[in-house]
């Protein structure tokens, strides 16, 4: 049902029931030819699952759905603009998954509050899994947060090479080697310190070491903070495809210290913001509108703006995950832009494009195709182009 | 509380609460020195957790606990002696784990009843994981059972080298390679056809492929039928220890065709019977007494005796697993003999001793130590020695 009202706040909110049943008439195929490529099947949302609503209409629907949601933001920093945050009180998003529920702490200076981490450490042995880029910046700080006033806890660490191209089984074995050589037992805790690759790999290692040990995530990139740290997906790449090996495994908590973003390269910031933008496009028109107003604050790494954007992204993803943990239907809506995006990553080899960059181009391709099929208005296409340009996502076609 | 009544039916039934809290006074250590060895900590049941009861007393307690159990044996072949089985009607043990519950079908000729397997196959693609010993014997029969009258199902297979020494990540990667090269998707089903090594590896692959696909076990050794196919433990070895990598992952069903035991080497039969004996010793005195009466029938591979022994072993293990899926306490009682046993396997290198052989010697060592500590009567020690000798477990000290 294409909208005729302009201006509109758009929400490409795919309904789970329509996504679950594949509508063959709206399927398409993308074949990428390269030595490592595979042909990927691309399913698009059917026309009936695209909702275009006027500004206030979508906002109220969006608000209503949050009231019904099982996701709670404690100490909610409700801000239409980026208000000043209190660095001592973290924003908390609770991911409700029954006995696998966990909190996400978000805020500035959280690594200086050791109790936040320590209350989620089980046992006296901790293994921090990080990479060669993040370790020099934050490993000491994390060890301090884990052990300050808590001398009974001993911390081991394993530093993996940095990058998507190392997201393979042979790298993961280094985590098992370290855990076993250190004689860790089932009561230990694994801590992922780094971006999405570290989170995915450490999560799979935690799920698989002695059939599952406690697990904490400290994501240090926007992408990991808003996406891979929420929902319990763990993963490794296979030479024939991305994230083909892994499990669902939930952490004890996720601690997001926005100060760690101060050292994030610009290119990675843009890549992460693409995922934030996707979140607004897929299911939260009010949040998308907020992003259009506050993109410059996000680009300037304003802590309050970042906290709000991360919180809202986590709330949205957590709500979807709590309703569909194993990706039976609704959770697949979060894959918007990912079908093309994964094809790009697979075709060019992992690590050439950042995930968010590939998703950004994937979203551009998806809205372009949706427009050509007559499902959406060209104003939506322009707004998607515009916000991605302002977020300075690399590889965005100018 | 040592018994004074002779003769006694013994049950080394460890109470979960006493096992859960480690009693330091009853701990012991075993250090095995070899290039690959690790020192393993051995926890023994405390004196208060060993129950010695007179014959009828234990039988009645044992029966009562089965009435309370959530484990059901449909078409129960209640036999104090080995009665004739009906090959057309499988004995069924239901493992009750909420939405992860599954049936174990036990009987002769079950691979000639395609509907048993086919109703548990999800999707149209199946990957049979087997080894180079079992494939020539049963792969065609399993493919026939999967496809007979069911032409829409296509079956791939991957044949791994046979043996504990191949239970490592590099072998597992062959399963992922085959699944991915065959473009299997999340709706496929993995089938484990073989012994415990195949079951453990295929289970871990099923748990990890695309974050979990359907999984069926067709165990072809007594050890796999009574132990590794019940409870969802999946595993790989690490060079420093056995089964250190893996997850908990439950199958859709387990199909045990006792006819597959006709091709089992004698040494493997003895190894598997050690696990059956352990089951009786740990928690089912009535079953232990039945084994003492029927060991010759089991050694002669009498289908009815085998079906009963496998059923009773599965019921016992399934009952424990349903009460303690993740080995929080009670399930650890099934590790009787395993502390010493794992040390033996680790010290000599995996594959030199069969698992049941190591467990048998581990049980002998455990009852010897329990006797030295004054916890049990020497008549128990003798009965354990005697039944293991009759089962002709290799490496048993004469």
Q: Are A275 and A313 in contact (CB under 8 A)?
A: yes
Exactly one of B120, B178, B233, B278 is catalytic; which is it? B233
- Among candidates B17, B41, B43, B23, which has minimal Cα distance to B31? B41
Residue whose structure tokens are 């007494």: B289
Residue B346 has pLDDT above 70, yes or no: yes
The minimal CB distance from B212 to the residues A238, A244, A247 is found for A247
The residue-averaged pLDDT of B187-196 equals 97
Tell me, what's the pLDDT at A68?
A: 28
Please give, rounded to a whole number of angstroms, the shortest distance from the CA of B391 to a CA of chain A.
Answer: 32
Mean pLDDT, to the nearest integer, of B320-345?
80
Active site residue A275: yes
Residue B246 falls in which region: left (phi positive, over 0), alpha (psi -120 to 50) or beta: left
Let me know if A335 is a catalytic residue: yes
Please tell me which residue, B80 or B326, carries the higher pLDDT value. B326
- Told to judge if B392 belongs to the known catalytic residues of this protein, a careful annotator would answer no
CB contact set of A229 (below 8 Å; sequence gap of 6+): A104, A199, A217, A219, A251, A254, A256, A314
Q: Of A32 and A208, which is predicted with more confidence?
A: A208
pLDDT at position A383: 96
Question: Which residue among B169, B181, B245 sits closest to A209, beta carbon to beta carbon?
Answer: B245
pLDDT at A283 over 60: yes
Instruction: Give the pLDDT band of residue B246 (cuts 50, 70, 90).
Output: very high
Helices and strands in chain A, H and E counts: 13, 14
Chain B nearest C-alpha distance from A21 (Å) = 14
What is d(CA A314, CA B285) in angstroms, rounded to the nearest whole number? 54
CB pair distance less than 8 Å for A248 and B210: no
CB B367 within 8 A of CB B264: no
Predicted confidence at residue A28, as pLDDT, reads 27
Q: Give the CA angle between residues B38, A182, B173 to the nearest 5°.
A: 80
**Residue owning tokens 């009574």:** B226
Partner-chain contact B247 A211, CB within 8 Å: yes
Do the strands A102-107 and A253-257 form a parallel or antiparallel pair, or are they unpaired?
Answer: parallel
Task: Determine the Cα–Cα distance for residues A251 and A104; give it in Å rounded to an integer.
Answer: 10
Which residues of A fall within a CB distance of 8 Å from B241?
180
In whole numbers, what is the pLDDT of chain B averaged over residues?
79
Instruction: Show the CA angle centred on residue B204, arms to residues B202 and B206, nearest 5°.
Output: 65
Maximum pairwise Cα distance, chain B = 65
Nearest CA of chain A to the CA of B240: how many Å? 7
The answer to whether B120 is a known catalytic residue is no
Q: Which of A185, A211, A335 to mutate to test the interface with B (most CBs of B within 10 A)?
A: A211
- Please classify residue B351 by burial: count the beta carbons closer than 10 Å to its beta carbon, then call 0-12 exposed, 13-18 middle and 19+ buried: middle
Tens-place pLDDT, residues A107-130: 999 999 999 999 999 899 999 999
Is the confidence at residue A17, as pLDDT, over 70? Answer: no
Residue B336's pLDDT is: 87
Q: Do B212 and A326 touch (CB under 8 A)?
A: yes
Continuous H helices in A69-195: 114-118, 140-147, 169-181
Distances (CA, A) of B201 to B204, B220, B275, B287, B342: 5, 15, 20, 30, 18
**Mean per-residue pLDDT, A222-249:** 92
Q: Is A248 on the interface with B (CB under 8 A)?
A: yes
**Cis amide linkage into residue A219, ω under 30° from 0:** no
Q: Is A183 on the interface with B (CB under 8 A)?
A: yes
The DSSP symbol for A135 reads I
pLDDT(B16) > 90: no
Distance of CA B22 to the CA centre of its chain: 25
A-chain residue closest to B175, CA distance = A245
Contacts of A244 in chain B (CB under 8 A): 176, 180, 209-210
Which residues are within 8 A (CB) of B299 and not within 5 positions of it... i.e. 6 or more apart?
A: B269, B273, B390, B391, B392
Q: Please name the residue of chain B whose CA is at the shortest distance from the CA of residue A241.
A: B180
Q: What is the mean pLDDT of residues B219-246?
A: 92
Q: What is the dihedral of CA B362, B364, B365, B367, to 10 degrees?
A: 120
* A62 three-class SS: helix
pTM of the model: 0.78
**A211 contacts chain B (CB < 8 A):** yes
Query: What is the distance between the alpha carbons of residues A276 and A288, in angstroms, rounded to a whole number?
Result: 9
Does residue A16 have a pLDDT over 90? no
Check if the beta carbon of residue B309 is closer than 8 Å to that of residue B316: no
Residues forming a β-bridge with A248: A233
Smallest Cα distance from A107 to chain B, Å = 31
Domains of chain B in start order, with CATH, are 71-264+296-320 (3.40.50.1970)
Is the CB of residue B21 less than 8 Å away from at least one CB of chain A? no
Spatial distance between the Cα atoms of A182 and A71, rounded to a whole number of angstroms: 38
Those of residues 121-180 in B touching chain A at CB distance below 8 A are 169, 173, 176-177, 180
Report CB contact under 8 Å: B211, A180: no
pLDDT for res A86: 52
Residue B299, classified by CB atoms within 10 Å of its CB into exposed (0-12), middle (13-18) or buried (19+), is middle
Contact B246 A211 (CB under 8 A): yes
The fraction of chain B above a pLDDT of 70, given in percent, is 76
Contact between A250 and A100 under an 8 Å Cβ cutoff? The reply is: yes
Question: Catalytic residue at A317?
Answer: yes
Helix locations, chain A, DSSP H: 16-20, 55-68, 114-118, 140-147, 169-181, 196-208, 222-223, 266-283, 285-299, 303-323, 338-348, 355-372, 378-390
Q: What pLDDT score does A140 carry?
A: 98
DSSP-derived pairing of the beta strands B253-257 and B102-107 = parallel
When mean pLDDT is compared across A208-217, B55-64, B101-110, B337-346, the lowest value belongs to: B55-64
> Mean per-residue pLDDT for A219-243?
91
Angle at B387 between CA B385 and CA B393, to 5 degrees: 85
Q: Picking from A75-84, B79-88, B380-389, which range would have the lowest pLDDT averaged per residue? A: A75-84
pLDDT at A79: 39
**pLDDT average, residue stretch A159-178:** 96
Catalytic residue chosen out of the listed positions B342, B357, B371, B383: B342
Mean pLDDT score across all residues of chain A: 79
Q: Please tell me the predicted confidence (pLDDT) of residue B396.
A: 57
Count CB neighbours of B16 within 10 A. Answer: 16
pLDDT digits (tens, 9 = 90+) for A328-346: 777 777 788 888 888 887 7
Measured between beta carbons, the chain B residues lying within 8 angstroms of A326 are 211-212
**Where does the pLDDT of residue B87 fall: very low under 50, low under 70, confident under 90, or very high at 90 and above?**
low
Residue of chain A whose Cα is closest to the Cα of B234 = A211
The gap from C-alpha B284 to its chain's centroid, in whole angstroms, comes to: 15
- Find which of B178, B213, B237, B247 to mutate to test the A interface (most A CBs within 10 Å of its CB): B247
Q: Inter-chain contact B209–A244, Cβ cutoff 8 Å?
A: yes
- Considering A224-238, B11-25, B313-327, the range whose residues carry the highest mean pLDDT is A224-238
Instruction: Tell me whether A21 touches chain B (CB under 8 Å).
Output: no
Confidence (pLDDT) at B69: 29
| Contacts with A209 from chain B: Cβ below 8 Å | 244-245
Q: By the 8 A CB rule, do A166 and A197 touch?
A: yes
DSSP letter (8 states) at residue A36: T
Angle of the A169-181 helix axis to the B169-181 helix axis, nearest 10: 150
Q: Hey, is the C-beta of B40 within 8 angstroms of any chain A C-beta?
A: no
pLDDT value of residue A351: 67
Q: Determine contact: A246 vs chain B, CB below 8 A.
A: yes
pLDDT at A397: 53
What residues form DSSP beta bridges with B76? none
Is A180 in Cβ contact with B240 (below 8 Å)?
A: yes
Look at A142 and B397; give whichever has higher pLDDT: A142
State ipTM: 0.77
For residue B178, give the chain A residue with the closest CA: A240
Chosen for mutation from A208, A209, A324, A346 (greatest number of chain B CBs closer than 10 Å) is A208
Mutate to test the interface with B, among A20, A247, A250, A331 (most CBs of B within 10 A): A247
Q: What share of chain A in percent tops pLDDT 90?
A: 61
Tell if the CB–CB gap between A212 and B244 is shorter than 8 Å. Answer: no
**For residue B76, what pLDDT band results from cuts at 50, 70 and 90?**
very low
**What pLDDT sits at residue B49?**
31
Q: Could you tell me where the beta strands, DSSP code E, fall in A117-170? A: 125-131, 154-160
Which of B211, B241, B246 lies at the smallest CB-CB distance from A208?
B246
Contacts of B300 (CB under 8 A, 6+ apart): none
Catalytic position from the list A120, A125, A167, A331 = A331
Tell me the DSSP string of B230-253. Answer: SS-B--EEETTEEEEE--B---SE
> In this predicted model, what pLDDT tens digit does every residue of B124-182 receive, in sequence order?
999 999 999 999 999 999 999 999 999 999 999 999 999 988 999 999 999 999 999 99
- Identify the active-site residue in B278, B331, B371, B383: B331
Inter-chain CB pairs, A–B, below 8 Å: 64
Across the interface, of B176, B326, B327, the residue whose CB is closest to A238 is: B176
pLDDT at residue number B146 = 98
- The closest of A169, A148, A151 to A160, measured between CA atoms, is A169
Token pair listed for A19: 């996504």
CB within 8 Å: A245 and B204 = no
Given a contact cutoff of 8 angstroms between Cβ atoms, the answer to whether B161 and B132 are in contact is yes
- pLDDT, residue B86, reads 52
**Residue A237: active-site member:** no
Interface contact A244-B38, CB threshold 8 A: no
Chain segment A18-27, per-residue pLDDT in tens: 222 233 322 2
Residues of B in contact with A177 (CB under 8 A): 238
Q: What is the mean pLDDT of residues A51-66?
A: 31
Closest CB from B183, B211, B247 relative to A212:
B247
- In tens, the pLDDT along B276-297 reads 999 999 889 999 999 999 999 9
Within 10 angstroms of residue B211's Cβ, the number of other Cβ atoms is 22
The mean pLDDT of B69-76, rounded to a whole number, is 34
């Amino acid at each position: 049902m294409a909208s005729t009202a302009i201006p509109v706040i758009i929400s490409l909110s795919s309904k789970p029931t329509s996504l679950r049943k594949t509508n063959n008439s709206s399927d398409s195929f993308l074949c990428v030819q390269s030595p490592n490529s595979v042909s990927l099947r691309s399913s698009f949302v059917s026309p009936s699952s695209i909702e275009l609503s006027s500004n206030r209409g979508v906002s109220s629907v969006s608000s209503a759905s949050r009231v019904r949601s099982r996701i709670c933001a404690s100490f909610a920093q409700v801000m239409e603009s980026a208000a000043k945050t209190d660095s001592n009180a973290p924003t908390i998003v609770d991911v409700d998954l029954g006995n696998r529920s966990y909190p996400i702490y978000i805020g500035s200076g959280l690594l200086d509050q050791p109790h936040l981490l320590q209350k989620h450490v089980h046992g006296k042995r901790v293994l921090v899994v990080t990479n060669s880029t993040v370790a020099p910046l934050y490993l000491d700080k994390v060890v301090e947060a884990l052990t300050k006033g808590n001398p009974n806890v001993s911390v081991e660490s394993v530093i993996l090479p940095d990058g998507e191209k190392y997201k393979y089984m042979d790298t993961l074995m280094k985590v098992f080697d370290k855990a076993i050589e250190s004689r860790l037992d089932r009561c230990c805790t694994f801590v992922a310190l780094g971006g999405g690759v570290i989170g995915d790999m450490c999560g799979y290692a935690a799920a698989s070491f002695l059939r599952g040990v406690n697990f904490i995530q400290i994501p240090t990139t926007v992408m990991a903070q808003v996406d891979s740290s929420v929902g319990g997906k763990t993963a490794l790449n296979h030479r024939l495809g991305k994230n083909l090996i892994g499990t669902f495994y939930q952490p004890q908590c996720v601690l997001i210290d926005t100060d760690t973003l101060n050292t994030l390269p610009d290119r990675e910031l843009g890549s992460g913001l693409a995922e934030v933008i996707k979140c607004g496009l897929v299911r939260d028109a009010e949040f998308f509108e907020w992003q259009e107003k506050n993109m410059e604050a996000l680009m300037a790494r304003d802590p309050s703006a970042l906290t709000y954007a991360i919180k809202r992204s986590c709330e949205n993803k957590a709500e979807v995950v709590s309703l569909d943990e194993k990706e039976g239907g609704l959770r697949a809506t979060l894959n918007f832009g990912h079908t093309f995006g994964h094809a790009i990553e697979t075709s060019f080899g992992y690590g050439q494009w950042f995930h968010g960059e590939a998703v950004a181009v994937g979203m551009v391709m998806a809205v372009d195709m949706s427009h050509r099929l007559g499902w959406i208005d060209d104003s939506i296409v322009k707004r998607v182009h515009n916000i991605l340009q302002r977020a300075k996502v690399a590889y965005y076609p100018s």
